[in-house]
Chain A
């Protein structure tokens, strides 16, 4: 029997050299490690716990460790500033070459922007959304702080090879992004852990035609359905994206035709309705029709799931000549400086500002209670990653998750609405 992408990935990275199958436990060689704000205090804490009071004694390969201060840039408190200062010292002491410390943005998007990962690589990150790298056929997976300590020391880490679920997305891409609707639909229909500890392989006619931006949304949200890995195949779009970003060679992973899948799920994307996740769980999903008329106080587009060019472009296209509803705060945060700059160059930011949107510095803050807090009984609709209770401040606020088009429609209408009834040409 053939191998899945995950089995190929881990077989190629197995220290013992043996072929591995779903369920096997192995020690794997790491190709890259993404560290964000955990680089100082948490790593020191791990080092101290392990008996290295002066901090990590080394990193295994200073060329393969990427430190990006996404959660803390620009700093929003004295504590963050002091932590960043510590991280700078650590990076210097350990000789780490790739360090983005004075640039706001989401680490995962910057990893893609700067071509710091390549198809077929095993890249770990101490953030749950590291799984987004699968959009580029990278074996990206989130690990813990203690895992990162181990990985940084040895360039190796233990894994259990995941079983795989094949998600077949058939249909035509539309003239607006629907990746969020797809993943929300899947979580609602099959449960918020349908891919628990498994590897997803996205395939089908939609998956092969859809943009890299949309693939990144679907892969990032792999973690919201429990996945360890969330792959797309490496195709022309992948190679085209990477060509100007990396000159290193790579060996993509492809599944064998007779690979074994624990489960196969097929979705006719053309038939998919607009959906939202109601408070307070990702899998609490319904058709937008069921919550139409729900008044909102805040709307948001951003995050490692939906802060990319196409997410902001659709908002600008829809808001051109329109205004954000009175009393609604509409926050847009590009995922990185590169995304932001492209939006500026294409005139999107001007359109958004004229419509009354608040454009927020790139970064993770929009997805957390760091930028744009909610007060008691306030309601927010957002294209960010999570709607857990308290995620945006008050424990008594309601957060709905939706795609960027549905968010933009709600921002204009002042209430949750079917985008087709708010905008023409949808």
Chain B
């Protein structure tokens, strides 16, 4: 399902520190199925997270979020996280999130304007994230058009299919004579 990246999001914040690793986000070594992962994601840092997270919540974290392996953060979407906002992100976690159309935003300084449990507003078109209570805000980084397009079509597999079908069609249709 596509995500319109210009949608303004608003949600309760779960705040984490620096260098949160994929082993904590997606501890599949111990819990190989999604049903199990949903009960244990992030327990290395916040044992109450899985049971208390609500649909629409926003995950805020420090620098180097999602470091470690190439595992994706699908489980965070499965438990209801609507968006991830971080100081910086490990490149594979960023690619994974874009590729699966999981909203993730880079907003240097975000951890200094919002605390756990407060409400954050993510306004991609205006390129700002704002603490709904205090009004404090920081800039978020816009993505290149290609990434925005991948979000809109629902992820890279969908993007691949569109291209594949387009190319197949071009092959079967006779060339247009002018």
Q: Give the chain B neighbours of A154 by CB distance below 8 A.
A: 160, 163-164
A49 touches B19 (CB 8 A): no
Residue among B32, B67, B144 having the largest count of chain A Cβ atoms under 10 Å:
B67
Give the size range of A's interface with the partner.
35 or more
CB distance from B90 to the nearest CB of A (A): 6
Q: Give the chain A neighbours of B43 by CB distance below 8 A.
A: 395
Q: Give the chain A neighbours of B146 by CB distance below 8 A.
A: 25, 158
A47 touches B157 (CB 8 A): yes
Q: Give the chain B neighbours of A145 by CB distance below 8 A.
A: 70, 72, 99
A193 touches B159 (CB 8 A): no
**Which residue from B30, B88, B156 sits with its C-beta under 8 Å from A147?**
B156
Residue among B21, B96, B160 having the largest count of chain A Cβ atoms under 10 Å:
B160
B29 touches A149 (CB 8 A): no
**Given A47-B157, A49-B157, A147-B99, is A390 in contact with B44 using a C-beta cutoff of 8 Å?**
yes
CB distance from B56 to the nearest CB of A (A): 24
A125-172 CB contacts (< 8 Å) to partner B: 126-128, 142-147, 149-150, 153-154, 158, 160
Q: Give the chain A neighbours of B68 by CB distance below 8 A.
A: 128, 386, 388
**Which residue from B30, B64, B70, B72 sits with its C-beta under 8 Å from A193?**
B64
**Given A49-B158, A146-B96, A146-B99, is A388 in contact with B21 using a C-beta cutoff of 8 Å?**
yes
A144 touches B96 (CB 8 A): yes
A226 touches B158 (CB 8 A): no
Main DSSP-derived SS at the A contact region: loop
* Chain A minimum-CB-distance residue to B45: A389
**Which residue from A126, A197, A388 sits with its C-beta under 8 Å from B91?**
A197
A293 interfacial contact with B, CB 8 Å: no
* Chain A minimum-CB-distance residue to B44: A389
B115 interfacial contact with A, CB 8 Å: no
Encoded as 1 (CB less than 8 Å from any B CB) or 0, chain A from 385 to 425 comes to 01011110001000000000000000000000000000000
A142 touches B70 (CB 8 A): yes
**Given A146-B100, A192-B19, is A25 in contact with B144 using a C-beta cutoff of 8 Å?**
yes
B67 touches A192 (CB 8 A): yes
**Total contacts A-B at CB 8 Å:** 112
CB distance from A127 to the nearest CB of B (A): 6
A75 vs B19: C-alpha distance when bound (angstroms): 32
A79 vs B156: C-alpha distance when bound (angstroms): 28
A57 touches B164 (CB 8 A): yes
A197 vs B95: C-alpha distance when bound (angstroms): 11
B23 interfacial contact with A, CB 8 Å: yes
A23-53 CB contacts (< 8 Å) to partner B: 25, 46-47, 49-52
A46 vs B74: C-alpha distance when bound (angstroms): 13
A193 vs B91: C-alpha distance when bound (angstroms): 10
A149 touches B160 (CB 8 A): yes
B64 touches A143 (CB 8 A): no
Considering the complex of A and B, which 3 residue pairs feature the smallest CB-CB distances, nearest first?
A146-B99, A50-B157, A193-B64
Question: Can you identify 20 A-B contacts, CB atoms within 8 angstroms?
Answer: A25-B144, A46-B157, A50-B158, A52-B161, A126-B70, A128-B68, A143-B92, A144-B92, A146-B100, A154-B163, A160-B144, A193-B64, A226-B90, A226-B91, A228-B91, A280-B44, A388-B24, A388-B44, A390-B30, A391-B23
Given contacts A51-B161, A142-B92, A389-B24, 12 further A-B contacts (CB under 8 A): A46-B157, A50-B160, A50-B161, A147-B156, A149-B157, A160-B144, A192-B67, A224-B67, A370-B29, A390-B27, A390-B44, A391-B23
